[in-house]
Amino acid sequence: MLPVRAAGRPAAVRAGAAAPRWVSAILGVPLAAKLAGANALVVLAALAAAYGLNAGSAQGRMLAVMGAALGVSLVVNLALVHLALRPVQTLEDAAARVYGGDLDARVTPSPLADREMARVGGAINLLLDGLAADRARARRLASEVIRAGEQERAYLARELHDSAAQTLAAVVFQLSAAARESTDPALGARLDEIKRMAVEVLEEVRMLAGAVHPRVLDDLGLPAALRAAAREAAEHHDTQITVVAEVERADVPPAVASVLYRVAQEALNNALRHASAREVTLRLARQNGRIVLDVVDDGAGFDVAEAERRRPGMGLFTMRERVALLDGEFEVASGPGRGTRISAAVPLERREETWSDDER
């Protein structure tokens, strides 16, 4: 947001900014206090005038009646002001709830609101309804984007596994046969070396196919995919990786499963490659209509603020954006020498995120 220059402000604002402190303090007093003070001054002035004009003792009762009438007027005025300002408090409460994250909050109609105040509340509710509709459309679009991305990943994975990997497997078979049939020891040794290299490439292609889109995620769901990822990571690192899944496959819609799997994959890679963690725990649970994924490690930790500044440091920006696409919440708690806890919570809306088997 661009800074607002003083030269561009209205004259009244500039004059108010230049007012003395005591004037600003008086003007900043709540409206009820201003009215109470003004009415008190009126009462005191009226009593003083009445006392000056009717100094004789015969007019004492009239003076007392006048003072009581003015006092009652003061109380009635304050009560009316209090009731008139109640609808404003309702508007403030609704704004505070929306700011706090309750996007379903609306301005409650008040019987004390006049026509103009009721119109303001209705306009605010109309604005909030429009924002909620835009948010729902954005969520549906995000789900479609994730689905399209996963379809492309699934296609590439199938091509790698069914085409490239199968061709390499045939090459390995032919090299083995040629090496066995070769009568030249030197040529046989070269064929064995080429076969070894082809086997390594075949394993890399299969690993790449699994990394692009793990079939287990489609076939068995998110809990099984997390366990498979943990087993594969444990085979290449001296790290104890524990998966605690408190949900079943049917509890996690495909769009949510895809996002949380990518978050777990990135968090696990960070823990193993950057934090040198000895223990990592992945916990998947359902809480208050949300699927929550926690990845906790005992690694070196890092400065979260510094990592956020140097985007996309350690993939935090990517993980946060993935979760935000589904209107979820993403939190990182870490510090040098204190390990790291990454938490992602995505709300469940099955009717917007259900994919058919032929779409995957």
Better-scored residue on pLDDT, 237 or 18: 237
| Residue with tokens 């549906």, as numbered in its chain | 140
**Residue listed under structure tokens 């524990």:** 242
- Ramachandran class of 276: left when φ > 0, alpha when ψ lies in -120 to 50, beta otherwise: left
3 state DSSP class of 114: coil
pLDDT tops 70 at residue 149: yes
Q: Which pLDDT score, from 0 to 100, does residue 49 have?
A: 61
Q: Residue type at 144?
A: E
Give me the DSSP letters along 8-60: GS-HHHHHHHTS-HHHHHHHTS-HHHHHHHHHHHHHHHHHHHHHHH--SGGGH
307-349 pLDDT, tens per residue?
A: 777 655 557 877 888 888 888 899 999 988 888 999 999 988 6
Contacts of 170 (CB under 8 A, 6+ apart): none
Pick the more confident residue, 249 or 258: 258
Please say if the pLDDT value at position 13 is more than 60: no
Q: How far is CA 317 from CA 29, 236, 267, 331, in A?
A: 45, 26, 12, 11
pLDDT at 209: 78
Cβ-contact 346, 290 below 8 angstroms: yes
pLDDT computed for residue 10 by the predictor = 42
Name all domains of the chain by residue range, CATH numbers in brackets: 6-113 (no CATH), 215-360 (3.30.565.10)
Q: What is the 3-state secondary structure (H, E, C) of 250-289?
A: HHCCHHHHHHHHHHHHHHHHHHHHCCCCCEEEEEEEEECC
The mean pLDDT of 297-301, rounded to a whole number, is: 88
**What's the pLDDT at 349?**
65
Give CA–CA dist 212/342, Å, rounded.
22
CB 282, CB 242: distance < 8 Å: yes
pLDDT tens digits, 172-184: 888 888 888 888 8
Where does the pLDDT of residue 260 fall: very low under 50, low under 70, confident under 90, or very high at 90 and above? very high
